[in-house]
Amino acid sequence: MESSYQIAEDCLYTKDHVWVRPEGKKYVVLGVTDYAQRRLKEILYIELPNINTRVQRRQPLATIESVKTSTSIYSPVSGRVVEVNAALIDNPEIINEAPYKEGWIARLEIQNREELDMLLGPDEYLRYIEELDEEGEASEE
């Protein structure tokens, strides 16, 4: 079955629709998935974390406000924020346009590489969102 959602093959995923792209041994870049940005619709504002902020896995990292809702983005790994995508401050809609490329949110220096093993691979994530869509369609009937 061909999905209508973009899934980046070089990323790992959380069930709350955050992607993680490992960069070398100690860094990851993260953002929200195509599935998440479509659910949020038009993104109006993002509150980015501060540089050098330390976060634990599953701790709020950023907040996105859209025409539909305000939602917290939870860090998929523990670490320290080393860079944020400042372009999103004036142009948060970049997340809608290119969630896996220019729409990245933050780069972290990871504290515990083993936490990456807890994330979903591209195929697992695709199956997960397809199940969510099927459940959503069933509940609308």
Which residues does the chain have with pLDDT short of 70? Answer: 1-3, 138-141
Which parts of the chain are beta strand (E)? Answer: 12-13, 18-23, 27-32, 43-47, 54-55, 60-66, 70-74, 79-84, 106-110
For the chain, the domain total comes to 1
**140 within some domain:** no
Three-state DSSP state, 104: coil
**59 within some domain:** yes
pLDDT for res 1: 40
**88 within some domain:** yes
For residue 91, what is the domain's CATH number?
2.40.50.100
Which structural domain, as residue segments, surrounds residue 87?
Answer: 12-111+118-123
pLDDT for res 135: 85
**24 within some domain:** yes
**38 within some domain:** yes
**85 within some domain:** yes
**33 within some domain:** yes
Token pair recorded at residue 140? 């609308």
- Distance, in Å, from the CA atom of 100 to the CA atom of 17, rounded to the nearest integer, reads 12
Percent of residues in the chain assigned helix, strand, coil, to nearest 5: 30, 30, 40
